[in-house]
Amino acid sequence: MLVQEPLLAKMTSRSRDRLPRVRSAAVPGICRLQSCVESDDIRRTIATLLESDSSPLVRKAVLDNLSPEEWNIELILSRTSDTSEDVRRACYKLVAEKIDLQSLTISQRVTLLRRGRLDRSSHVRKEFLQSLVYRGWLEGSCGGDFYRLCELLDPETYAEDIVPILCEVEERFAKPIVAIDLNHLTKEAAVLLLAFAKRSADNERLSQVFPSLKSYAECLKYYKQDDFILSCLIQVFNKLDLSDEAGRRDLISTLREDFLEDSQIPDRHYPGLVRALVSSMGSQSSAAGLVAELLIADGSDWSSEQAAFRALKIVEGLLLASTPQNDPEVFFSSLIDNVVLKGLVNSSVDIRSVAIRCLSIYCLMDKTEKTASTNVLLFLQVLDNDVLPLQVIALEAIVDILLRSPPS
């Protein structure tokens, strides 16, 4: 201790030198003393250098020499948002080499994913992917097992952060994709399948997982009660081969009878389900007719707010999946009159908000702009008289109309 105290005093005084080169030269000594001596003074000095030093050279030197401990983990992770590109790169390198994935909380893991993926520097993003995701987590902590990596990142809660990362590395798990067992599909396998479908152009491997549209339809039914896996499967649809006519008929039947007619299906699935229906039928008019039959011809009970909301979400999904027309009224008039306009006068704010969104999409679908000119006064009325959330939706609709067809 007699030797360490003067060493610490000298190193600490050099860490406050006016020259960054001198301060950075003192850093290795201070960090070495940290591993030998339990001292709050050393910790405070390191924290000050890492958080507050004006020189990127000094902050990077701390990361290059620091030994991660419980007290400094958050300090280290905070440098992923440093203003210096070199410091951020050094931070990801440190985390990859010295901090085991399982020693971090789920929140910390996802924060690293989010910041690394969205970093403005391509060099930092490359360091993040190669050092942290590839070598540190996948190969180091998970032994090359993508399923284990997904498990440690909690895909059900953080899919929006995980899938883009997996899309960047899809070529590394392309081969295991074909070995997925649809009878025992896990959440980890589902998110890998989704990432592969979003990024890869290799539809042949995907066709080995789903050899026919009928097998895909059966898979949807099988995992109907698992909300997360169902969501992944619905999003995979866009990459499927639709040339199988018999399979399309099976899928259309499944989408209608097992999903669109089931009031227990979560509302967030309707856009994807209706998009799959429109694509499978190959005709907007046929899809609109089927949806109209489903929602109107069966004499739906509009006294139920749940039924009205569900119907509007289905119509919204249909409108979003359709392309602009010269005369959209031919396809959608019955749905607009019997579902959307009724929703506009409903007492529920949630129902009115979906109805206004449906009407705004419908206006933008009309290439002739007649529908927009007819309904713009209605949006103005909502803007003047309704509650604030609906005023915002109406204002957005008016702006969209003006951007598309400014007044002469």
What is the domain extent for residue 326? 283-408
Residue bearing the bigger pLDDT, 167 or 407: 167
pLDDT exceeds cutoff 90 at 188 = yes
Q: Quick check: is 293 in a domain?
A: yes
Predicted pLDDT at 201 = 67
Average pLDDT, the chain: 89
Work out the average pLDDT over 58-84: 94
CA distance 220 to 208: 17
Q: Quick check: is 287 in a domain?
A: yes
- Is residue 352 within 8 A of residue 392, CB to CB? The reply is no
Confidence of residue 26 (pLDDT cuts 50, 70, 90): confident
Q: Give the number of domains in the chain.
A: 1
Predicted pLDDT at 16 = 76
Q: Quick check: is 49 in a domain?
A: no
User: pTM (2 decimals)?
Assistant: 0.85
Q: Quick check: is 58 in a domain?
A: no
Alpha-helical regions (H) of 169-283? 174-177, 187-199, 203-209, 213-222, 227-236, 245-254, 270-281
Q: Quick check: is 301 in a domain?
A: yes
Q: Quick check: is 43 in a domain?
A: no
Highest mean pLDDT among 43-47, 196-200, 376-380: 376-380
CA distance 158 to 108: 12
Q: Quick check: is 295 in a domain?
A: yes
Predicted pLDDT at 1 = 47
Q: Quick check: is 102 in a domain?
A: no
pLDDT exceeds cutoff 60 at 392 = yes
